[in-house]
Structure 1
Amino acid sequence: MPSESFSTSSRPVMDDPVLGKPTTDEEAAMEKGQESTSDAPEATATAPPREFHGLSWFLVIVSILCSTFLFGLDNTIAADVQPAIIERFNSVNKISWVSVAFMMGAGSTNLFWGQMYGQFNLKYLYIISIAIFQVGSALCGAAPNMDVLIVGRAICGIGGAGAYVGVMTLLSVMTTDQERPAYLSIPSITWGTAMVLGPIIGGAFAVSKAGWRWAFYINLLIGAVCAPVYLILVPSKDARPGVTLTDRVKNIDFVGFAILSGIFVALLMAISFGGAVYPWSSGRIIALFVVAGVLAIIYWLQQGFSIGTPKENRLIPFEFITNVQLMLVFLCETTAATSTYIPVYFLPLYFQLVRGDSALTAGVRLLPLVCFLIASILIAGQIVSRTGQWQPWFFGGSALALIGGALLYTIDEHTSNAKIYGYSILTATGIGSYLQLPFAAAQAAVAPRWIFVAVGLISFAQLAAPSVALSIANTVFINEATLNLIQYLPDYSEDQITRVISGVGSQYLDQMSASQRAVVIRIITQAMGKPYILVITSSAFSLVLSTILVARSFADRKKSKTTDDNSI
């Protein structure tokens, strides 16, 4: 398709409750470092229609969602191929890097991708990110050793994050204001579904004749099928038409990106390896925390004094920090993403270790969770698109997630499957009610020229929060289980106990007596409950934040009504 220019300043003036105040007021507010109003009267103008429809539109949507699906799939597909990887490379001490490398690549580059999409042609940048993801997948599939596999996983994370931010950005500029909330809910559904299906698909490949390498090669096949659509049908939109390449590059905060990446990587490594690979008191772990802290101070100074980058091009504009609505929905997205992936990771592990289910069966038992998560995301997106009232969904969803998380914490080795399904359904319904709404709410809170950065910020919350949360949860689980099992099984080596906890040491469980095995299962189950504390605390925090959002909404409505009455 011929290249089209896209300027966020061309977005029409809107008064839609979902999209906030009129554009001109938003822009003025952002220039002053103030927040825009979250509610306003009914729309007085309509956005221009979409540029294409029918089969072309269908193919574009399906193809770009395929990249989101593959990115979500790669988050968890390695979980059930780990035993095969350990057997192939005999590197159990490096196995945690397989997931950590992917999360580091995705989380550390997310904001950078958001800024890049605000400077360059959306289509070309999206295709580049897809290419990076495919290169990483090829490396993983063909890896001759664990080190190459780890590098490939990091590259997959970098490219996948770029593709995900690209999908959210493309949908933001290809849809009208009225339909945008509904369309922006679809990537989250796709990603969440893929996250849940990851262990199932990975486990299926691991036990098939194809082998575990096809868990990564499958990305190449699907990418090849979608490539013609990416090249031909995806519209070419330039974020800054007429601006030279030099000026675009100058507007990228490379210094801030490097420092923020260092913070994220150091912190994630410290949390992931502390207690599990190295003692918390070891010099390596302490050094990582110190590096993260020092870099955080440097980053604050760099952003505050605009060192190495113009003030208006900082990675996280300071105007965002003073925008109350944006910060509230950012934090709500962080809590929602955290609450989502703790049960997605630990429920299958519970069914495998406690119930003795296969990887495939354990993954299937997540279907109630994923079905209700998808349904609630769809329902919330559709209703908000029609009514414009999104704040109550944050409040109600947080309350349900809090109750569900508290119930998940009570699971033990005797809890019935029916109760577990009910707890997971309650949690998923609550989370899905507001998981994807922050994308539309954030765009409502900023001037049009900041939309790209706002999308990147919310995407950062959606990707980085689960990375850190899962690292914390996994570390707590492993440390708790290892400590208690070492005391109960003094004749077992730490390597053997690690294999039992990770699900690859079934032969050791089989050698135990029934009573001994029951105690081991109880210890593991008790340790497995600790990660749900993160779901409880994050949902409780979200409930407080959403209460503030609802209160602000009522205050804005009252102020608007008073203004209207005075004008009469």
Structure 2
Amino acid sequence: MEKPQTQPEEGSNHLRKPIHQQHEDTQAETGTSATENAQVVEGVADSETDEEKSAPAARMSHFQTVVLTLALCACVFLAALDVTIITTALPTIAEKFHSVAGYAWIGAAYTLGEAASTPIWGKLSDIWGRKPLLQIAIGVFFVGSLLSALSVDIGMLIVGRSIQGIGGGGLLTLPNIIIGDLFSMRVRGKYYGFIGMTWALASSIGPVLGGVLTEKVSWRWLPIIGLVFVLIFLLLKLETPKTPIVAGLAAVDWLGCLSIVGATVMLLLGLEFGGVTHPWKSAIVICLIAFGIFTAVIFVLIEWKVAKYPVMPLRLFSKTSNAASLAAVFLHGMTFVVGTFYLPLYYQGVLGATALLSGVWLLPLTGGMAFSASCTGGYIKASGRFLETIWIGFILMTLGFGLFINLDDSKNWPKIILYQIIAGLGVGTNFQGPLIALQNGVSGQDIATATSLLGFTRALATSVGIVVGGVIFQNGFQSHASQLQNSLGAAADAFLGGAATASTELVDRLPEAQRAVTRRVYFDSLKNVWIFAVATSAVGLFVIVAIRKSTLSKQHEVVKTGLDAEEERRRTFLVKEEREM
């Protein structure tokens, strides 16, 4: 086997491709986008085997494909479980550490780390290969899990959750990239359906498991329970380029990485602090948001003028359809996280459920997600169409969360179950569609970067959704301050100033009359959160109009990784830009 060149410019031999042979190089040389090659070619055989000969997965046995899919799903399950397993335990943990802001912080710390790291994982995997980066992501996730489980105060727990989020960013993004490497545009919808089902399964199991461990054992088991699934990753086999460490480090867009991480952290911290630990008009909040925006502008300039191998090439935003796909992902993520984070608060604060019961009562939502995710993947594979699924998803999501506004302040099981099923069907339908739309609109050589960008957008959306939802809820609670003070007297202080999310267990200890007043305030405040979710989903209906409709092809362009491949990509797009000038 030939050794890869340290200097890409001098190397004549290309690094190994992810699995086997590369599809025709014509598309890479001309810079033709996947969209332009997405039309079904007349005369191509209907057999999936004939059309899939160019895909690496075609050279794998059925058993190898199943094992690899299970390994990738296990990685996603590990990260997704850690997002949802904590939701039903948040009020208990926040009260345990006597932290007013802990409810939103514990959840947002994970998504903040995930959002800041996601765009970097994809670019690093282009240089060193997918599997080594996935192994590193698992290692980072393990360290964060250990710190979280051993936390002695809220600060240590938040740090541990942030580190978990950094690893989780890789665990959620890299499997999607690997699927893009292995399967054709049309067939990969089926496997993204499996990923969506896995996310939905984690969303179903997580809250229940979190409730069981919180009530019966200890919340400290929550951060490490998912690590048992890491063993399945040992079954994952992928070929990897032998990129020299020094040469690889020199090729990394360090300025771009630092600036995107800095901008993301500052913006999200500013949103986190605002109205919770510091007033919105305070200097620290204003400075964090202002400097975050400034750093984001610097990041764009770096990617445009400085970076040789940009972590987020600006060409990804050149098409309106791509921008619309990313906007749809952002709006979908914000809407989705509101349901999974604030429905448990409705169950515990309004209906008086325990942490365990609130997880069980989420099953209609997550079950609907799992069902629609699997059906959507099958539909995309069979029909080659994806735009219809995006429309159906946003319509059902808007309807479902709109019906949440009609929930009662007492147990009405037909409403609770039916409304969640409708919302869940909408959420699950849109796990794959926008991703397929984005990948279909970029060159095959940009699939990994585009997938990382989508993961970054979704992680950013969940972080913003948690924060904005928390601000809306707290403001709603504060507007009822006089009502609470008149009814509860001095005891009202335990629920005001942002403390309501961490005080659900206190509600059951109040006298019946005071308990009824407090639960009504929870109910009215959460109604504002549901309105916010409906608004974000409804905006999505206007955004997706700009997504381009096309029929997916089963032909596949195999993507190479390594420094030689990076240099080849760079030169290809430089030539294309010169031709377009």
Which amino acid letter does the alignment assign opposite residue 222 of structure 1?
Answer: F
Name the structure 1 match of 2:447: 451
Name the structure 2 match of 1:40: 39
Output aligned runs, 1:140-151, within 5 Å.
140-151=148-159
Contact 1:25 1:36 in 2 (8 A): no
1:199 maps onto 2:207 in alignment: yes
Q: 1:501 to 1:93 in 2, by over 3 A?
A: closer
Q: 1:26 to 1:484 in 2, by over 3 A?
A: farther
Residue 288 of structure 1 and its aligned partner are, at CA, apart by 1.6
Name the structure 2 match of 1:166: 174
Residue 59 of structure 1 and its aligned partner are, at CA, apart by 3.3
Contact 1:406 1:536 in 2 (8 A): yes
Give the 3-state SS of the residue equivalent to 1:492 in structure 2: helix
Alignment partners' CA distance in 1, 2:95 and 2:460: 30
Q: 1:496 to 1:336 in 2, by over 3 A?
A: closer
Residue 449 of structure 1 and its aligned partner are, at CA, apart by 1.4
Alignment partners' CA distance in 2, 1:325 and 1:266: 29
Residue 381 of structure 1 and its aligned partner are, at CA, apart by 0.9
Q: 1:381 to 1:472 in 2, by over 3 A?
A: same
Alignment partners' CA distance in 2, 1:27 and 1:438: 27
RMSD: 2.9
Name the structure 1 match of 2:72: 64
Alignment partners' CA distance in 1, 2:99 and 2:386: 48
Give the 3-state SS of the residue equivalent to 2:86 in structure 1: coil
Give the 3-state SS of the residue equivalent to 1:531 in structure 2: helix
Q: 1:158 to 1:242 in 2, by over 3 A?
A: closer
Contact 2:390 2:429 in 1 (8 A): yes
- For residues 152-202 of structure 1, the C-alpha deviation after alignment (integer angstroms, 9 at most, x for no partner) is 111111111112212112222233554311101222221233234323212
Where structure 2 has 5 or more consecutive residues not aligned to the other structure, the ranges are: 4-14, 45-50, 552-581
2:129 counterpart (109, 121, 124):
121
Alignment partners' CA distance in 2, 1:94 and 1:542: 31
Name the structure 2 match of 1:404: 400
Residue 80 of structure 1 and its aligned partner are, at CA, apart by 3.3
Which amino acid letter does the alignment assign opposite residue 491 of structure 2?
Answer: Y
1:6 counterpart (4, 17, 37):
17
Residue 62 of structure 1 and its aligned partner are, at CA, apart by 2.3
Name the structure 2 match of 1:80: 88
Give the 3-state SS of the residue equivalent to 2:275 in structure 1: coil
Residue 297 of structure 1 and its aligned partner are, at CA, apart by 2.5
Alignment partners' CA distance in 2, 1:535 and 1:8: 42
Residue 437 of structure 1 and its aligned partner are, at CA, apart by 2.0
- For residues 447-489 of structure 1, the C-alpha deviation after alignment (integer angstroms, 9 at most, x for no partner) is 2211110111122222221121121111211222134235531
Contact 1:26 1:446 in 2 (8 A): no
Which amino acid letter does the alignment assign opposite residue 182 of structure 1?
Answer: K
Name the structure 2 match of 1:530: 528
1:488 maps onto 2:487 in alignment: no
Residue 248 of structure 1 and its aligned partner are, at CA, apart by 3.0
Output aligned runs, 1:166-315, within 5 Å.
166-208=174-216, 210-223=217-230, 225-226=231-232, 229-230=233-234, 233-238=235-240, 241=241, 244-306=244-306, 309-310=307-308, 313-315=309-311
Contact 1:50 1:176 in 2 (8 A): no
Residue 115 of structure 1 and its aligned partner are, at CA, apart by 0.9
What TM-score do the two structures reach when normalised by structure 2?
0.83
1:112 maps onto 2:120 in alignment: yes
Contact 2:480 2:521 in 1 (8 A): yes
Give the 3-state SS of the residue equivalent to 1:6 in structure 2: coil
Which amino acid letter does the alignment assign opposite residue 537 of structure 2?
Answer: S
Contact 1:71 1:164 in 2 (8 A): yes
Which amino acid letter does the alignment assign opposite residue 426 of structure 1?
Answer: I
1:434 maps onto 2:445 in alignment: no
Alignment partners' CA distance in 1, 2:451 and 2:464: 20
Higher RCO, 1 vs 2 (CA within 8 Å, ≥6 residues apart): 2
Q: 1:142 to 1:441 in 2, by over 3 A?
A: same
Contact 2:337 2:462 in 1 (8 A): yes
Name the structure 2 match of 1:136: 144
Contact 2:270 2:285 in 1 (8 A): yes
Name the structure 1 match of 2:562: none
Alignment partners' CA distance in 2, 1:526 and 1:459: 33
Q: 1:38 to 1:358 in 2, by over 3 A?
A: farther
Q: 1:84 to 1:380 in 2, by over 3 A?
A: closer
Residue 369 of structure 1 and its aligned partner are, at CA, apart by 1.4
Q: 1:464 to 1:500 in 2, by over 3 A?
A: closer
Which amino acid letter does the alignment assign opposite residue 523 of structure 1?
Answer: V
1:467 counterpart (463, 468, 474):
463
Give the 3-state SS of the residue equivalent to 2:281 in structure 1: coil
Alignment partners' CA distance in 2, 1:324 and 1:35: 15
Alignment partners' CA distance in 1, 2:41 and 2:425: 29
2:371 counterpart (366, 370, 375):
375
Alignment partners' CA distance in 1, 2:536 and 2:102: 30
Identity %: 24
Residue 81 of structure 1 and its aligned partner are, at CA, apart by 3.2
Alignment partners' CA distance in 2, 1:378 and 1:58: 16
Q: 1:464 to 1:400 in 2, by over 3 A?
A: same
What TM-score do the two structures reach when normalised by structure 1?
0.85
Contact 1:342 1:531 in 2 (8 A): yes
Alignment partners' CA distance in 2, 1:392 and 1:426: 17
- For residues 313-371 of structure 1, the C-alpha deviation after alignment (integer angstroms, 9 at most, x for no partner) is 22221211112332222222222222222112222221211111111111111111111
Residue 12 of structure 1 and its aligned partner are, at CA, apart by 3.1
Name the structure 2 match of 1:337: 333
Alignment partners' CA distance in 1, 2:59 and 2:316: 31
Give the 3-state SS of the residue equivalent to 2:223 in structure 1: helix
Alignment partners' CA distance in 2, 1:536 and 1:104: 24
Contact 1:333 1:458 in 2 (8 A): yes
- For residues 512-539 of structure 1, the C-alpha deviation after alignment (integer angstroms, 9 at most, x for no partner) is 342x332322221111012223322222
Alignment partners' CA distance in 2, 1:422 and 1:11: 48
